[in-house]
Amino acid sequence: MSTPLNRSAKALRLAGIGLGLAGLGALFVYAGGGFGSAGLTPQRIIDTFEAQAGHHPGYRKNHAKGLCVSGYFQSSGLAEPLSTARVFSQTRVPVTGRFAIGGANPHSPDTAVPTRSMALEWRSDDGQVWRSGMNNPPVLAVSTPQAFYDQVLASTPDPATGKPDPARQQAFFAAHPESAAFRQWAAAYRPSDSFANTDYNSINAFKLIDATGTAHPVRWRMVAQTPFTPLPGQVDDKQYLQHDLAQRLEQGPLRWTLRLTLAEPGDPIDDPAHAWPGERRSIDAGTLVIERVDAPEQGACRDLNFDPLILPQGIEPSGDPILAARSAAYADSFNRRSRESLQSQVQP
């Protein structure tokens, strides 16, 4: 039986996951002008997010806490008929990556934030670059930039409690029935005890372009080959996930399977809030092998902007308006933290 207390706890759980994604969503606004009567821009949205989560100069404006990793991608060759992208035919492609948790606070305990991310850069031998930012939820709660902004506002912490207002969260989700798939995922979510046994999703759809120019809409998922183990009930180490990853890599490489799911006619290609049916055809395009971890924020990934629209020939974006908006906002966030880092270096 659902009691007010249980409903409040569930709302706060959704808020915890949603807040991490709301920061992500807050960056997904149109760069070529605002929306709504307030004339919001990416710059103003990032300002709002920082005002809510705190200003931390020199850090990413979302997924601020993370660490750099490196390894390679080994293609299976199975996706080669679907895309001319060299990453699907080259035997071994070097990869630079980053694991992170959601939110703008680089000092948050690793296990306090449900949202986890994997960002990757592939560099193939034809000079092409592919960057991708993935998250553990398979879908977003909403479909439009305006709804993202509403979610950010609904997730604003109450000054009295330091947490989002459960009633406000409940009202937001009630007003957005398209959030059903996200809420279903959140209700069943069980955090694992590692970055290594977490799956990561593209969330947005893209198009693979084959040699004839035919487009094949897909979403992708990095499926962990490390078995799932639940997160312990109590964790005192604030760097728990980072320390765990380093310890695992000391024992040997970690692996994920890149699984491409192909859409069928009628599937929502441009709406990240709607999942595709589970029986859709999938292809295991290859294996991601992570071999090394660098010091947090000091490795090769530090100066990378994991803009998901940096795509190689053979992969194109879908018409998802949220995906189309990410690039300019990512650039603003990247430029802002770069300026902050430079200013800190020149100050006496």
Report the candidate in 112, 145, 93, 83 with the shortest Cα–Cα distance to residue 287: 93
Let me know if 63 is a catalytic residue: yes
- Please give the Cα distance from 314 to 302 (Å, whole number): 27
The DSSP annotation for 96-152 comes to EEEEEESSS-TTS-GGG---EEEEEEEE-TTS-EEEEEEESSSS-S-SSHHHHHHHH
> Residue 116: is it exposed, middle or buried by C-beta count within 10 angstroms (0-12/13-18/19+)?
buried
* Residue from 63, 107, 216, 274 carrying the catalytic annotation: 63
Report the candidate in 254, 258, 249 with the shortest Cα–Cα distance to residue 287: 258
Please report, for the chain, how many H helices and E strands are present, in that order.
7, 10
The DSSP H or E segment spanning 257 is strand 254-262
Active site residues: 63
